């Protein structure tokens, strides 16, 4: 008696402990994600440690980011265009200019002579716009202030050039749209097919057939996505390329088809569970009133199972939006705003997976990728809220 009670207490304590720890860990992960990601908005898009300096004679004290980008992209070449009439031609100066401007030998082993040489050269050339690591630029040159990256720039920016010099572009519009295109395409394929398959297997197929097919469908859900990706790459991509006569077959369509296939098992199995949870008595009651099998399916079974079917669809969405490997392999990963399913696109997940390895920890690129992950998190979070809301609204009715 006493021993069982101690045993129960131990189990109770264990459940309490592991439950609490798990909950806290989950919350901490989310917190970490946002802490790292939100750092992005406390940084400027300038390469870390760099300064932007102008000559003291230069009357422009501030320059907006767009103009600076245009200068480095060679879209603006005259100071006059920015309001300094006598400035002449703008001469951007980047670390890549060092070897062209100075003799390599004179710089010293550790570039110890660079700063004085730089100062002398800068003084002689008022038209310079210098973008260099701060330690090589003398304090007497005025520094241009750049504003911090804003949420609007991040979400609405069209360009994703996270490593361009010296100013990075972190605009994720094309990436978000890429994800949306791929997912919407996948769901347009997977939801109707999945629901129809679920109805067939749950209501119409013979039990023997169902028993035969179900293990395979459940098996499909367990296949690693890299294998799906490989299949997509060697089968779906070439077919799309040939069918539509494209230069490359890695397109949003390939991603959609593949993700649709990946989401199918989830939708089918959960859909079947939902349909089979319809009480037998309810179906019999419908049949007993003279309704035929089809009427019973669409007037009783489907309305009863709809919340389960919606949650199947939502879980399918979760699977597609969060899917990484297969998307990375078949969508071409071009960060451009898609206007057709036959264009290469880049998804959020693929971006994070492909770039996190090469982004220095704690840098702006790293923070931008974390912010991207936060966006993904928020996206799926609201998706789930939406699902809950749909289901609860349905139940109240």
Partner 1 sequence: MLKILTRDLNFYYGQFKALQNINLEIQANTVTALIGPSGCGKSTYLRTLNRMNDLIEGARVEGEILIENRNIYDKTWDVNDLRKKVGMVFQKPTPFPKSIFENVAYGLRVNGEHNKKKIHETVERSLQQAALWDEVKDNLKKNALGLSGGQQQRLCIARTIAVEPDVILMDEPTSALDPISSAQIEDLVLALKENFTIVIVTHNMQQARRVSDKTAFFFLGQIEEFANTQTLFENPVSERTTNYIRGKFG
Enumerate binding residues for partner 1 (CB under 8 A): 207, 279, 281-282, 284-292, 295, 299-300, 303-304, 397
**Which tokens go with 264?**
């199918």
Q: Closest separation between CB of residue 310 and partner 1, Å?
A: 15
CB 46 within 8 A of CB 63: no
The neighbouring-strand residues paired with 156 are none
Q: Which is nearer to partner 1, 207 or 222 (CB)?
A: 207
Helix spans in the chain (H): 2-38, 65-72, 98-101, 114-124, 151-156, 173-199, 207-222, 225-231, 237-243, 252-276, 280-288, 293-296, 302-322, 325-330, 348-355, 364-396
Q: Closest separation between CB of residue 278 and partner 1, Å?
A: 10
Q: Closest separation between CB of residue 284 and partner 1, Å?
A: 6
Q: Which is nearer to partner 1, 289 or 386 (CB)?
A: 289
Q: Judge residue 248's burial from the number of C-beta atoms within 10 Å of its C-beta, 0-12 exposed, 13-18 middle, 19 or more buried.
A: middle
CB 374 within 8 A of CB 366: no
**Cα–Cα dist 201/203, whole Å:** 6
Q: Which is nearer to partner 1, 219 or 285 (CB)?
A: 285
Q: Which is nearer to partner 1, 221 or 291 (CB)?
A: 291
Q: Closest separation between CB of residue 360 and partner 1, Å?
A: 57
Q: Closest separation between CB of residue 40 and partner 1, Å?
A: 48
The neighbouring-strand residues paired with 161 are 169
Q: Which is nearer to partner 1, 300 or 329 (CB)?
A: 300
**Which tokens go with 97?**
């200019």
- Three-state SS across 218-244? HHHHHCCHHHHHHHHHHHHHHHHHHHC
Q: Which is nearer to partner 1, 205 or 353 (CB)?
A: 205
**Cα–Cα dist 227/363, whole Å:** 33
Q: Which is nearer to partner 1, 176 or 301 (CB)?
A: 301
Q: Closest separation between CB of residue 290 and partner 1, Å?
A: 4
Q: Which is nearer to partner 1, 230 or 304 (CB)?
A: 304
Q: Closest separation between CB of residue 309 and partner 1, Å?
A: 14
Q: Map residue 338 onto helix, strand or coil.
A: coil
Q: Closest separation between CB of residue 174 and partner 1, Å?
A: 44
CB 323 within 8 A of CB 187: no
């Amino acid at each position: 008696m006493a021993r069982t009670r101690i045993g129960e207490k131990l189990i109770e304590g264990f459940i309490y402990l592991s439950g609490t720890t798990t909950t806290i860990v989950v919350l901490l992960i989310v917190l970490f994600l946002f802490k790292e990601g939100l750092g992005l908005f406390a940084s400027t898009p300038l390469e870390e440690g760099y300064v932007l300096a102008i000559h003291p004679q230069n009357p422009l004290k501030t320059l907006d980011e767009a103009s600076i980008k245009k200068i480095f992209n060679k879209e603006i070449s005259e100071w006059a265009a920015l309001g300094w009439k006598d400035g002449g031609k703008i001469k951007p100066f980047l670390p890549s200019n060092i070897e062209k401007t100075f003799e390599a030998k004179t710089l010293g082993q550790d570039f110890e002579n660079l700063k004085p040489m730089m100062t002398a050269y800068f003084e002689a050339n008022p038209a310079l716009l210098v973008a260099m690591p701060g330690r090589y630029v003398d304090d007497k040159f005025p520094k241009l202030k750049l504003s911090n990256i804003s949420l609007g720039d991040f979400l609405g920016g069209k360009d994703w050039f996270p490593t361009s010099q010296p100013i990075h572009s972190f605009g994720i519009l094309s990436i978000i749209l890429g994800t949306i295109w791929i997912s919407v395409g996948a769901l347009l394929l997977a939801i109707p097919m999945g629901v129809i398959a679920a109805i067939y297997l749950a209501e119409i197929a013979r039990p023997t057939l169902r028993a035969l097919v179900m293990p395979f469908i459940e098996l499909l859900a367990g296949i690693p996505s890299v294998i799906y990706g490989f299949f997509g790459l060697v089968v779906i991509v070439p077919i799309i390329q040939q069918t539509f006569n494209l230069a490359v077959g890695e397109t949003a369509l390939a991603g959609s088809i593949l993700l649709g296939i990946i989401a199918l098992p989830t939708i089918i199995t959960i859909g079947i569970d939902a349909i089979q949870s319809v009480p037998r008595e309810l179906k019999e009651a419908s049949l007993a009133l003279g309704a035929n099998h089809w009427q019973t399916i669409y007037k009783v079974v489907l309305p009863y199972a709809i919340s389960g079917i919606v949650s199947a669809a939502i879980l399918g969405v979760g699977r597609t939006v969060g899917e990484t490997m297969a998307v990375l392999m078949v969508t071409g990963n071009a960060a451009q705003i898609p206007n057709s399913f036959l264009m290469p696109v880049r998804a959020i997940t693929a971006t994070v997976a492909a770039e996190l390895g090469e982004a220095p920890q704690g840098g702006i690129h790293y923070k931008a990728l974390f912010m991207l992950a936060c966006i993904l998190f928020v996206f799926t979070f609201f998706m789930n809220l939406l699902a809950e809301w749909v289901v609860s609204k349905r139940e109240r009715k």
